[in-house]
Amino acid sequence: MKAIAQKTVTTWLLICSIAMLGIISCRKELKPDPAATVLNDASAGKNEHGHLQQAKTYSSEVAISWINMQLNMFRAPLPAGTGSQAQERCMAYCGIALYEAVVPGMPAYQSLYGQLTDFPAMPPTEPGKAYHWAASANAALAVMNRKLFPTTAQVNKDAMIHLEDSLQAVYAGEVDAATLDRSVAFGREVASRVFAWAATDGTAQIALMPAYVAPAPTAEHPGWWIPTAPTPAVNPYAYLRRILTPGAAEGTTLEPPPPYSTVPHSEFWEMAMDTYNKRNHSTADQQDAVRYAWDPGYGPGGGFIAILSQTFSKAKPMLDVAALAYAKVGIAQSDATIICFIDKYNLNFNLIRPLTYINKYIDASWTTQIPTPNHPEFPSGHSTINPAVLAMFTDVFGDNFQLTLHTYDYLGYPPRSYNSFEEISIDLANSRVYAGLHYQATCDKSRVIGKKVAANILAKLKFLKD
C-alpha cells in the first residue's frame, strides 16, 4: 500500500509539473473572449503608477489549476461537516475568495462587502504599491481549499502544497520579492476572512441536528413524500443555511403541483404516466443525458465545477473575467440550492416521487434509470439549480457559446455538445424526467424559479462600481 501511495503522489507531482509548463507558456496576455469586452474595456485605464499591473493582464490558469485540483478532491471523501451539498458550498466560497483577492486590481469593480449577507470587510491594499494578482489568487485559493478539504486524502494534500509552491515559483520570476510577499499575504488574509465568514453560515449547526424523520402521508395529505432509500434524507435542514444574496428568494413562490389523485386519467395520474412513458421510451441520447446529469464522478453539483473548468479552457478569459465568473457561478449555485431544498421540505408541497406513485398505482415492476434521490420531488433540484448557475455563465460569456463537454470521458461516457448554456440547462432538467425521477411539470416550474434566483442575484449584487 505504501508503494501504491508513493506512486500516486509521484503521478500527481508529474501532473502538476506538466500543468506548470502550460502555465509558463501562457504567461503572454491571452486574447479575451468577446463576451468579456465590456469588463476589459471598463478596466482599460492605466493606474497613475505605471508599474502597477491590473488583474486583466494575467491569464486564468491559476483559477483553472485550482478548479481542477478541487475536482480531483471531490473524487475523495467529502470535506468533514459539509454534508451532501459540499460541492456548492466549496464553489461559492472559493469563487468569492478569488474575486476578493483580485478585485483591487480591477478598477471598474468593487468588493462584495456590504452586499453579501453578513460579509465582512476585506483587507486593504497598500496605496501606491504593486501587487501580482495571480499570486494573490493562488494564495487565496490554496488557503480556501486546504480549509475546505481538511479530511481529503494525503495525496491531495501533497498535491495542493505542490501546486501552490509551483505557481508561486513561476510568479517569483516575474516580480521582486517584496511585491510577491505582499501579494501572497494579501491573498491569504482575504481567504482567512472569507473562511471565517463561511464558518458561520449554519453548516456547523446542521451537523448537530437529529436525523430527519419524514412525516407519514395522512388522509388529509395522501401525496406526501415517502423516502425512497433507507439512507438519511438529503439536506432537510437547508433552512438553517445562510442565503448569500439578500433577496435572492424574492418572487420565487412556487405554483403548486396538480391536486394529488390516484384516479386514472386525473391530472396527477396523467402527470405520472408522462414520466412513466418517457422513462420507458427514452432514446440512447436521452439516457446519456441522464448519466451526465447524475454527476457520477463528482457528486451533486460537481458537474458545474467541471463545466467552469472547460469553459475557462475554451474561452481563455483573463484573470479578472475568470474571478467574476467564478464568484457569480458559485453564489448562484449556493443560493439556488438552499432555496430549492427549503421548498422541498415545505409541507405545503413535500411531494411523492414518481417511483413510489407508479409502483403503487400503475406498474409495480417499474424502475428508474438511476437511483431516486432521497428527498421530496417538488421542486426539482437539478431543474432549479442549473438554470441559476448556467444563467451566470451566459451573463459572463454570452449567448450562443458552443461547448463540448468531456466531463466523463474518463468513465467512457461520450462527450455532449451544446450551442449555448441554455441548451445545457434544458438538457439537464429534462434528463430528470427521462430518468424517471421527476414529473415534467415539476421540472418546467423549477426552471422558472432557478432563472428568477439568478435574476435576483444579478439585480442585488453590484460588481461594477457606480
Residue 21: its pLDDT value, please? Answer: 38
Domains in the chain, number: 2
The C-alpha atoms of residue 191 and residue 72 are separated, in whole angstroms, by: 21
149/290 same-domain check = no
Nearest 10 degrees: Cα torsion 201, 146, 57, 330: -30
Structural domain includes residue 211: no
- The alpha helices in 32-176, defined as continuous H runs, are 37-42, 61-73, 86-102, 133-148, 154-172
Residues with Cβ < 8 Å from 208, sequence gap 6 or more?
none
464, 402 Cβ separation under 8 angstroms: no
Q: Considering just the CA atoms, what is the radius of gyration of the chain in Å? A: 23
Angle 2-25/61-73 helices, nearest 10 degrees? 160
Structural domain includes residue 208: no
199/223 same-domain check = no
Q: Is the peptide bond before 379 cis (omega within 30 degrees of 0)?
A: yes
Query: Block means of pLDDT (10 residues each) for the chain, length 466 residues?
Result: 40 42 37 37 36 91 96 74 67 98 98 98 96 98 95 92 98 97 98 98 95 97 96 95 98 94 98 98 97 84 92 98 98 97 96 98 98 96 97 97 95 95 97 98 97 98 96
DSSP codes joined into one string, 363-401: -TT---SSPPPSS-SSS-HHHHHHHHHHHHHHHHH-SS-
Structural domain includes residue 160: yes
Residue 52: its pLDDT value, please? Answer: 81
Q: What is the CATH number of the domain that holds 144?
A: 1.10.606.20
122/234 same-domain check = no
Half-sphere exposure (CA, 13 Å, Cβ side) for 384?
25
The C-alpha atoms of residue 206 and residue 208 are separated, in whole angstroms, by: 5
Residue that is last in its domain, among 147, 172, 203? 203
Residue 24: its pLDDT value, please? Answer: 37
Cell digits for 301? 453539483
Structural domain includes residue 303: yes
Structural domain includes residue 373: yes
Residue 300: its pLDDT value, please? Answer: 77
199/222 same-domain check = no
**Nearest residue to 381 via CA among 427, 450, 466, 328:** 450
The C-alpha atoms of residue 171 and residue 101 are separated, in whole angstroms, by: 16
Residue 46: its pLDDT value, please? Answer: 33
Structural domain includes residue 358: yes
233/197 same-domain check = no
Which residues, in sequence order, are bridge partners of residue 403? 418
14/101 same-domain check = yes
98/141 same-domain check = yes
Which strand (E) or helix (H) includes residue 322? Answer: helix 319-344
Residue 30 CA to its chain's centroid (Å): 25
Cell digits for 198? 463561511
291/425 same-domain check = yes
DSSP codes joined into one string, 47-87: PSSTT---GGGSBSHHHHHHHHHHHHHTTSPPPTT-GGGHH
252/374 same-domain check = yes
288/344 same-domain check = yes
DSSP state of 464: B
Residues with Cβ < 8 Å from 219, sequence gap 6 or more?
none
Half-sphere exposure (CA, 13 Å, Cβ side) for 214?
26
Structural domain includes residue 300: yes
145/250 same-domain check = no
The C-alpha atoms of residue 345 and residue 343 are separated, in whole angstroms, by: 5
222/195 same-domain check = no
Structural domain includes residue 213: no
**Nearest residue to 427 via CA among 417, 439, 437:** 417
Residue that is last in its domain, among 203, 230, 255? 203
Containing domain of residue 132, as a range?
Answer: 2-203
